[in-house]
Amino acid sequence: MSAYHQLTAIMEAHPDLVFCNDGYQNLPAEIVEANKETIQEIEKILKEKVWGFVSFQNFKPRKDGSMAVRYQARYDENTGFVGVVYTPLAEFQEKTNDY
């Protein structure tokens, strides 16, 4: 099963991980705690697909109706800078590309 299908299935089964953050807002702590195992599963998928992946934050609805995956990742090897990344969920449909 592709990362896209895995992530979509998780998102549909756990709608509380869909969060329309405004700036630096994060999921409420009680949602993170209640979904700890699911978040670990998401992070395992993303570690396999995303270079420099650090941690999952939430699924983010976009204005066009699509969804994105919001996560923290290293921007390069040299500085170790970690920042937020929004990757459209559809980008994970490609089985042969890593992001």
Total domains, the chain: 1
Claim: this prediction has a pTM higher than 0.95 = no
Cα 31 from Cα 78, distance rounded (Å) = 34
The Cα 6–Cα 20 span in angstroms is: 21
**Domain assignment of residue 40, yes or no:** yes
pLDDT at 32: 97
- The verdict on residue 55 lying in a domain is yes
pLDDT of residue 46: 98
Tens digits of residue pLDDT in 35-89: 999 999 999 999 999 999 999 999 999 999 999 999 999 988 888 899 999 999 9
Could you tell me which residues are beta bridge partners of residue 88? 68
The residue-averaged pLDDT of 18-38 equals 96
Start-end of H helices in 1-99: 3-13, 29-34, 36-49
For 64, the domain range is 3-93
Query: How confident is the model at residue 94, as a pLDDT?
Result: 64
pLDDT of residue 6 exceeding 50: yes
99 located within any domain? no
Residue 73 belongs to a domain: yes
pLDDT at site 99: 46
Distances from the Cα of 52 to the Cα of 29, 74, 76, angstroms: 24, 5, 8
pLDDT at residue 15 in the model: 97
Residue 98 maps to a domain: no
